[in-house]
Amino acid sequence: MAENSSVPIRRRVLFRGRVQGVGFRYTTASIARRHPVVGFVRNLPDGSVELVAEADALTLDQFLADIASEFAGYIRQQEAHD
Protein backbone atom coordinates (compact mmCIF):
# COMPACT_ATOMS: atom_id res chain seq x y z
CA MET A 1 0.00 0.00 0.00
CA ALA A 2 1.43 3.40 -0.98
CA GLU A 3 2.01 5.95 1.74
CA ASN A 4 -0.28 8.97 1.47
CA SER A 5 2.06 11.97 1.55
CA SER A 6 -0.68 14.31 2.78
CA VAL A 7 -1.27 12.35 6.00
CA PRO A 8 0.21 14.26 8.93
CA ILE A 9 2.94 12.56 10.91
CA ARG A 10 4.74 13.57 14.08
CA ARG A 11 8.52 13.57 14.14
CA ARG A 12 10.73 14.04 17.20
CA VAL A 13 14.26 15.19 16.43
CA LEU A 14 17.16 15.58 18.85
CA PHE A 15 19.90 17.96 17.75
CA ARG A 16 23.33 17.69 19.35
CA GLY A 17 26.35 19.90 18.96
CA ARG A 18 26.61 23.61 19.64
CA VAL A 19 22.85 24.11 19.54
CA GLN A 20 22.17 26.06 22.73
CA GLY A 21 23.04 29.74 23.08
CA VAL A 22 23.18 30.31 19.31
CA GLY A 23 19.56 31.29 18.58
CA PHE A 24 18.58 27.76 17.55
CA ARG A 25 15.06 27.83 19.03
CA TYR A 26 14.28 31.35 17.81
CA THR A 27 15.54 30.66 14.29
CA THR A 28 13.79 27.28 14.15
CA ALA A 29 10.50 28.96 15.09
CA SER A 30 11.11 31.51 12.33
CA ILE A 31 11.79 28.74 9.80
CA ALA A 32 8.62 26.94 10.97
CA ARG A 33 6.53 29.98 10.05
CA ARG A 34 7.56 29.42 6.41
CA HIS A 35 6.20 25.86 6.47
CA PRO A 36 2.76 24.46 7.38
CA VAL A 37 4.04 22.70 10.51
CA VAL A 38 2.98 22.71 14.15
CA GLY A 39 4.99 21.69 17.18
CA PHE A 40 7.60 22.94 19.62
CA VAL A 41 11.32 23.22 20.19
CA ARG A 42 13.05 23.25 23.58
CA ASN A 43 16.44 23.05 25.22
CA LEU A 44 17.24 19.89 27.16
CA PRO A 45 19.41 19.73 30.30
CA ASP A 46 22.12 17.70 28.52
CA GLY A 47 22.83 20.57 26.08
CA SER A 48 20.84 19.17 23.18
CA VAL A 49 17.68 20.61 21.62
CA GLU A 50 14.45 18.67 21.10
CA LEU A 51 12.11 19.46 18.22
CA VAL A 52 8.66 17.89 17.86
CA ALA A 53 6.84 18.78 14.65
CA GLU A 54 3.74 17.60 12.80
CA ALA A 55 3.07 17.92 9.08
CA ASP A 56 3.00 15.71 6.01
CA ALA A 57 6.24 13.84 5.30
CA LEU A 58 7.39 16.08 2.44
CA THR A 59 6.82 19.26 4.46
CA LEU A 60 8.69 17.81 7.45
CA ASP A 61 11.62 16.83 5.24
CA GLN A 62 11.80 20.34 3.74
CA PHE A 63 11.49 21.97 7.17
CA LEU A 64 14.27 19.83 8.64
CA ALA A 65 16.47 20.44 5.59
CA ASP A 66 16.09 24.20 6.10
CA ILE A 67 17.10 23.84 9.77
CA ALA A 68 20.08 21.66 8.85
CA SER A 69 21.19 24.18 6.23
CA GLU A 70 20.86 27.14 8.59
CA PHE A 71 22.80 25.43 11.40
CA ALA A 72 25.23 23.29 9.37
CA GLY A 73 28.19 24.56 11.40
CA TYR A 74 26.49 23.89 14.73
CA ILE A 75 24.67 20.54 14.42
CA ARG A 76 27.00 17.62 15.11
CA GLN A 77 24.30 14.94 15.26
CA GLN A 78 20.61 14.78 14.34
CA GLU A 79 18.47 11.86 15.55
CA ALA A 80 14.91 11.61 14.22
CA HIS A 81 12.02 9.37 15.32
CA ASP A 82 8.54 9.16 13.74
Catalytic residue check, 4:
no
**Would residue 43 show up in a list of annotated catalytic residues for this protein?**
yes
CB 56, CB 5: distance < 8 Å: yes
Q: Mean pLDDT across the stretch 47-72? A: 98
d(CA 42, CA 6): 26
What does the pLDDT read at residue 3? 54
Q: Output the pLDDT for position 23.
A: 97
Reduce the DSSP state of residue 34 to 3 states and report it: coil
Count how many Cα atoms sit within 13 Å of the Cα of residue 27 in the half-sphere of its side chain: 15
| pLDDT at position 72 | 97
Q: Considering the entire predicted model, what is its pTM? A: 0.89
Q: Decide if pLDDT at 1 tops 50.
A: no
Residue 39's SS3 state is strand
Report the pLDDT averaged over residues 43-51.
Answer: 98
Indicate which residue of 11, 33, 43, 76 is catalytic.
Answer: 43
pLDDT of residue 4: 56
